[in-house]
A and B are shown apart, each in its own frame.
Chain A
Amino acid sequence: MALTGLQIYKLLPKTNCGDCNFPTCMAFAMQVAAKKVSLDQCPHVSEEAKAQLAEASAPPMKLVSIGDNENKLEIGQETVLFRHKEKFYHPTGVAILVEDTLTNSELDKKISLINQLKFTRVGEEIGIDLVALQHNSTNAEDYSKLAGKITEKTTLPLIFICQDPSIIEPALELVGNKRPLIYSANKENFEKMASLAKQYNCTLAVYAENPEELADLTQNIKKLGVDDLILDPGTRKTRTALEYLTKLRRLAVEKVFRPLGYPTIVFTNEEDPFQEVIQASTYVCKYANIVVVKAKDTWQLLPLLTVRQNIYTDPQVPNAVEPKLYEIGAVTPDSPVIVTTNFSLTYFTVESEVGNSKVPTYISVVETEGMGVLNAYAGDKWSAEKIAKTLEQQKVREKVNHNTIIIPGLVAVFRAELIDEFGWNILVGPEEAARIPSFLRNEWKPAGKK
């Protein structure tokens, strides 16, 4: 947490020499606290003070990364308990558990499923972030072979799940350059695990039964020179996990309690496919930075990834797309023209349904200040007049050689006035975007040539 002006002042020489170009040390301290000038501007400040300030201004939760390529996962550096206070910065990493007991063909199948698991929602591609290789029974040689095989088949970063350094070490020799997450150090193995993490520059997960023991362990590991850590609060029970995850987040961001100022990892333990997604979604809402799941079906993972997308949406950014004429597919002058609002969710829903219809279509997006169809209507953000003006600005008359415009079914009331304003035939489209494909295929007909 940032220091106050007064706290910074105490670190200064208090000579009011003016060498920093401010009249007094206090004035300078206030500017440093406001992040307007750097502490370096004082030529007399001690190294010790600099170190203290750097320490104090470090983010309350450390940012750590896993992986070495374009799929590198960064987590941590969260600053709040509630998204409305600011936002959540680094979306929870979703890891799929892969057992080392899988046969070759099972492994191939699983990895290819993980690779294919990509959904496009609201203009964003969402998917799995990590593959977690669970050690059960293999020997060190087979475990590294498996690790090697997985890195050949996917570019996603790995998690090595094994508490035995003698199993992990050969795997790191083979693929340590890909910076897998080492899971995990505990009070028995932490010295060896920390030295492996240091040697391979990998992030290290730390396991203990509760926050108190975790704090002991991170301090011991930090003394060994390893500070890229992720905390596993131990429990697998949802209720206790909720408690620990909440406490860890509060300790990090509210108390700036450095021994626990790291992101977290949790594992689901529910066997039932519904209950497992419920459990994992709970953790996405409440403070897990990585959640490791066994879920294997796409119908389980789509809702989980959507929860993450929703919760990590920046509440400060209006969800709007640029108001302009969008061309979906290979449009021609015969293509239909659909009018909608610039609320992202509305636009992307319409866009995706138009895509599904396979009918090349113009979408004319009206500036509604990021409001959806009904809200914009209720809030006077759009009207027949505004739509007509937008259609003129977007030169729709020149783009198509028919004279028909489709408006959302929810604002059918605009029809008569829009005919007056724009002069063209106005077709009332469906109320729900899901009906757009059948509407474009079966009901849309240009009313005639202009």
Chain B
Amino acid sequence: MEVPDVKQSWPNSINEVTIGATKEGGGTRSHAITVGGTRTLPFLYFEGNIPHRPVIAMEVWDIAPTDWPEELGKYFSDVWDDPGKWAKKCVDEFEADFICLRLQGCDPDGENKGSHEAAQAVRSVLESVGVPLIIWGCGNDEKDNEIFPACSQTAAGERCLLGTITEDNYKTLVALCKADKHKLIAESPVDINIAKQVNVLATDIGLAPEDIVIYPSTGALGYGMEYVYSIMERGRIAGLSGDKMWAMPLLADIGREVWKVKEAIAPEEEVPGWGDHIQRGPLWETITGLVYLQAGTDIFIMWHPKAVKELKKYIDSLMKKNSRKN
């Protein structure tokens, strides 16, 4: 029996955003990564092309973390006193698509490192690996505005993805981005209208929409994930339907959210009946990522090598024969 056609045609496609610049592009990266460009909902090949595969950045800090679970220390504690070595291990051993350097050490409530040290961490990662780079501030607006100029200049021309700008703090980063040719992460607190508003504000002062990636916050599986999932779905549908301020690729900050929840960390002795935490932890991170993948996420930031490997394997299995290689 013939069945009605349910193919949906979307008037708009998601912006393509390229992160990382090779020599030809004015930088020193071994390759660039492009995300976005799709004109369909996730992996519906009968409807439209998905030109670029979603990518995974592994997270590196500018200081040795003191609160990462032992399960992660196993993989990183031998390198986490040196962001360059840490990044290299992620790329060489764990096949990270690229690196997210989080400047946690600059947090005024923590080690309160200065802009010189932050820039040094950026340089160290740029020198040790050839992949593109995300540079994520410490989350304190004032401090981020202080350290980012040096970081941005150190990486000038490398087309890094810098983050984050918010509704209340975007001018400094937008100016840096334009001057040094980077891209930006626009953050909003699980709110579809604010997500859009940040993009309106940034583009009003001259940032190109094609330089923006949307970060609508992230919740771990079991911890408010469904709110973000639905905002991503709504936003992606808006973007495909023609809303230019929602036509940006999506980013999910998975590792940081997952590795503080009990389901990922607690050993079985503490939570009888939950099963082996050596498996449960990375699976919790993988599945959190998977659900966001189904909502349209293009860029993942993750911590555990096993979770990275498994999600990549799944993405590859869905992408086969349908895309240019990144």
Interface centre among B4, B276, B318, by most A CB within 10 Å? B4
B223 — which chain A residues lie within 8 A by C-beta?
345
Given A251-B6, A298-B275, decide whether A434 and B260 contact each other with a Cβ distance below 8 A: yes
The smallest beta-carbon distance between A428 and chain B, in angstroms, is 14
**Mostly helix, strand, loop or mixed at chain A's interface?**
helix
Residue A450, interface by CB 8 Å: no
A238 touches B317 (CB 8 A): yes
B311 — which chain A residues lie within 8 A by C-beta?
278
A278 touches B310 (CB 8 A): yes
The smallest beta-carbon distance between A283 and chain B, in angstroms, is 10
A43-51, A197-205, A222-230, A241-249 - the one binding chain B: A241-249
A window 168-227: CB within 8 A of B: 211-212, 215-216, 219
The smallest beta-carbon distance between B201 and chain A, in angstroms, is 19
A304 — which chain B residues lie within 8 A by C-beta?
287
B window 188-212: CB within 8 A of A: 189
A286 touches B279 (CB 8 A): no
Q: In the bound complex, what is the Cα–Cα distance between A121 and B226 (angstroms)?
A: 15
B233 touches A247 (CB 8 A): no
Residue from the list A84, A298, A307, A432 in contact with B230, Cβ < 8 A: A84
A window 249-288: CB within 8 A of B: 250-251, 254-255, 257, 259-260, 273-275, 277-279, 281-282, 285-286
Residue B221, interface by CB 8 Å: yes
Given A243-B44, A273-B279, A310-B222, decide whether A303 and B313 contact each other with a Cβ distance below 8 A: no
Q: In the bound complex, what is the Cα–Cα distance between A122 and B262 (angstroms)?
A: 13
B222 — which chain A residues lie within 8 A by C-beta?
121-122, 306, 309-310
Given A298-B273, A306-B263, A432-B260, decide whether A242 and B44 contact each other with a Cβ distance below 8 A: yes
B274 touches A299 (CB 8 A): yes
**Mostly helix, strand, loop or mixed at chain B's interface?**
helix
Residue of B nearest to A353 (CB): B262
The smallest beta-carbon distance between A311 and chain B, in angstroms, is 6
Chain A residues with a Cβ closer than 8 Å to the other chain, count: 57
A356 — which chain B residues lie within 8 A by C-beta?
270
The smallest beta-carbon distance between A284 and chain B, in angstroms, is 9
A243 touches B46 (CB 8 A): yes
A116 — which chain B residues lie within 8 A by C-beta?
273
B230 touches A282 (CB 8 A): no
Provide the A54-82 mask, 1 if CB < 8 A to any CB of B, else 0: 00000000000000000000000000001
B294 touches A282 (CB 8 A): yes
Provide the B273-289 mask, 1 if CB < 8 A to any CB of A, else 0: 11111011011101100
B179 — which chain A residues lie within 8 A by C-beta?
none
17 A-B residue contacts at CB 8 Å?
A: A83-B230, A215-B1, A247-B46, A251-B4, A254-B6, A260-B3, A273-B279, A275-B310, A277-B287, A278-B286, A278-B287, A281-B291, A285-B291, A297-B279, A302-B280, A307-B221, A434-B260
Q: A83-B229, A242-B44, A302-B274 are in contact. List 9 more A-B contacts (CB 8 A).
A: A83-B233, A84-B230, A84-B234, A246-B6, A277-B283, A281-B291, A298-B273, A315-B230, A434-B260
